Structure 1
């Protein structure tokens, strides 16, 4: 017979586990309400705190990495941040390309051959308007993936995210022909960390996300936004994850996303 004190203790432990880590339970029982949390690079100042939250909450994410300017050290894929990326690989997170020099698609160039107007926000050509072939754009995606692999020892997913999510059907077709599938985000998955904190407070963004996010959504946040005065991460990240878990959501990486898992398996 179980003693009353022991029964009370077990009930408390179960209640605590259900609040703090329903995603962990879901992963053992099946994940009926999956979410796919993703992070793009940025100035990296909040990266150490983001990693702490993810580890504490036992959540795995997919990082889309570019070599962007940072507040400390060299670029986000430079030697200064290499140990941070390697540690995330050891924890089981996934990685994908965000283009090496954070290159924005600007427009398609008319003509039979696929060419694009682009502008990088990092690297030696930052701020310059350039015209690239499809091969040049594919090579840029591959540069970031190669650097991630070099740092972490882990092969990135055959996925990429165009900076700003800016693409065209022609660009997407060209990238896919080179072996790269594009990943955007759900409307409710735009977590708002790029918005001015003067008009989009952390409290308001948290409330909106908890209200609007639905099962299957891809969520987008960053490892630091230069323009936001009141940083979204890590302030909102932990209550958001805990709140979503309390609603029965669980977290997966894009390796398990139904729209991409077959593509990923084909490209092994």
Structure 2
């Protein structure tokens, strides 16, 4: 059975010389327990993805951006994937905090990553930008390459003022398509893998941005590779292919080389 599946995967990959019906796989960091399996699955399918990085706790007692995981990120960069920020501390936006004049230069967040207890705190626009840039600095230190000019707010929660603050320091937000919510952070009991796979294969269309994680602490039945493997094979059979966000028409201009100043 496994040999047959691998043969189907190879056939599907060979049948996709051009990516003319792309979907855009994206992964936010998590406990990293399934990260090696996800990387192997992407490689088998010749699928490019985009990863959004935060410094989160891992199952091995470290963090997603520590020296233990640096080689893993370096390998993914060498494979041609894309990378963006997910805030350094995994700050989930809660509210704008306008000043007496109605200007918004401060925000309230719930800082919550993995098994760490949540903490509610305030950050200025400058501090939020520093959080995004810190991810880029660490990514470059690990891989020797620059981070992409994109970010994803944890839980996808933003405001117009927060997006403006991020744009001011070079980061454009990337959400996900409605059908692209792959459900790996939902309860296994209420949303079993078979149900998530069926929904994704039914609803995903060309151009959709898909979102999953590199491991969710609360999910008892891991989503990857149980769903990821047949999802990639099934979408490829429908003629879809897997591209990084630098090829998305909305984000491609952000990745284009800027002309050098005379």
How does the TM-score come out when normalised to structure 2?
A: 0.90
Partner of 1:150: 141
Partner of 2:54: 66
Alpha-carbon contact 1:66-1:76 (below 8 Å) kept: yes
Q: 1:240 aligns with which of 224, 231, 248?
A: 231
The Cα of 1:126 is off from its aligned counterpart by 6.2
> For 2:121, what is the secondary structure of its paired residue?
strand
The question of 1:46 aligning with 2:34 is answered yes
The Cα of 1:119 is off from its aligned counterpart by 2.5
Q: Residues 126 and 103 from structure 1, CA distance in 2 versus in 1: closer, same or farther, beyond 3 angstroms?
A: farther
The question of 1:82 aligning with 2:70 is answered yes
Q: Residues 99 and 162 from structure 1, CA distance in 2 versus in 1: closer, same or farther, beyond 3 angstroms?
A: same
Within 5 A, what are the aligned runs for 1:212-251?
A: 212-251=203-242
The Cα of 1:106 is off from its aligned counterpart by 1.0
Partner of 2:156: 165
Deviations 1:60-97 (A, max 9, x none): 11110111000014100011111111111121111111
What RMSD over aligned residues (CA atoms) do the two structures have, in Å? 1.9
Alpha-carbon contact 1:60-1:92 (below 8 Å) kept: yes
Query: Using the alignment, how far apart are the partners of 2:257 and 2:117 within structure 1?
Result: 35
Q: Residues 106 and 137 from structure 1, CA distance in 2 versus in 1: closer, same or farther, beyond 3 angstroms?
A: same
Query: Using the alignment, how far apart are the partners of 2:141 and 2:249 within structure 1?
Result: 28
Within 5 A, what are the aligned runs for 1:1-268?
A: 20-22=10-12, 25-26=15-16, 28=17, 30-111=18-99, 112-122=103-113, 127-265=118-256
> For 1:76, what is the secondary structure of its paired residue?
coil
How does the TM-score come out when normalised to structure 1?
A: 0.88
Moved over 6 A (4+): none
Query: Using the alignment, how far apart are the partners of 1:179 and 1:36 within structure 2?
Result: 22
Paired residues in the alignment total: 249
Deviates more, 1:42-51 or 1:129-138: 129-138
> For 2:219, what is the secondary structure of its paired residue?
coil
Deviations 1:21-53 (A, max 9, x none): 545544x3x422110000000000001111111
The Cα of 1:135 is off from its aligned counterpart by 0.9
- Structure 2 unpaired stretches of 5+: 1-6
Alpha-carbon contact 2:104-2:161 (below 8 Å) kept: no
Alpha-carbon contact 2:96-2:104 (below 8 Å) kept: no
The Cα of 1:55 is off from its aligned counterpart by 0.9
The Cα of 1:128 is off from its aligned counterpart by 2.5
Q: Residues 120 and 158 from structure 1, CA distance in 2 versus in 1: closer, same or farther, beyond 3 angstroms?
A: same
Query: Using the alignment, how far apart are the partners of 2:131 and 2:248 within structure 1?
Result: 24
